[in-house]
Structure 1
Amino acid sequence: MTLRTPRPLRLGALIAVSALALTACAGTPAPAPASAQADAFSSSDVWVKAADEGMSAGFGTLANTGDTDLTVVSATDDATSSMQLHETMQNESGQMVMREIEGGFVIPAGGSLELAPGGNHLMFMDVTTPLRAGDETTITLTFADDSTARIVAPIKEFSGANETYEGDMGDMDMGQ
Structure 2
Amino acid sequence: MNITTNFGAPMRNSVRLAGMILCAATLAFTATACGGNTEAAKDNASSQETHREASRGQAITAVDPWIKAAGAGDTHAMTAAFMTLKNSTDDPVELVSATVEGAELIELHETVADDHGATIMRKVDGGFEIPAQGERILEPGGEHIMLMELSADFVAGDVVDITLGFASGEELVVPATVREFSGAQEEYAHEETAKQGEHGHEDHDSDH
Please list every run of 5 or more consecutive structure 1 residues that lacks an aligned counterpart in the other structure. Answer: 1-31, 172-176
Aligned-partner Cα distance in 1 for 2:85–2:56: 13
Give the aligned partner of residue 55 of structure 1: 78
Q: Aligned ranges for residues 13-162 of structure 1 at < 5 Å?
A: 40-53=59-72, 54-161=77-184, 162=186
SS in 2 for 1:103: coil
State the 1:170 CA deviation. 4.3
Residues 137 and 153 of structure 1 are in contact (CA less than 8 Å); yes or no, is this contact kept in structure 2? yes
State the 1:164 CA deviation. 5.5
SS in 2 for 1:67: coil
Aligned-partner Cα distance in 2 for 1:97–1:111: 27
Aligned-partner Cα distance in 2 for 1:37–1:78: 26
Higher helix fraction (1 or 2): 2
State the 1:95 CA deviation. 2.2
State the 1:79 CA deviation. 1.5
Aligned-partner Cα distance in 1 for 2:57–2:125: 20
Amino acid corresponding to residue 43 of structure 1 in structure 2 = A
TM-score, normalised to structure 2's length? 0.61
SS in 1 for 2:149: coil
State the 1:90 CA deviation. 2.1
Q: How many residues align?
A: 139
Larger Rg computed on CA atoms: 2
State the 1:146 CA deviation. 1.1
Quickly say closer, same or farther: Cα 1:114–1:157, change in 2 above 3 A. same
TM-score, normalised to structure 1's length? 0.71
Quickly say closer, same or farther: Cα 1:38–1:70, change in 2 above 3 A. farther
Residues 118 and 200 of structure 2 are in contact (CA less than 8 Å); yes or no, is this contact kept in structure 1? no
Quickly say closer, same or farther: Cα 1:83–1:101, change in 2 above 3 A. same
Residues 118 and 163 of structure 1 are in contact (CA less than 8 Å); yes or no, is this contact kept in structure 2? no
State the 1:89 CA deviation. 1.6
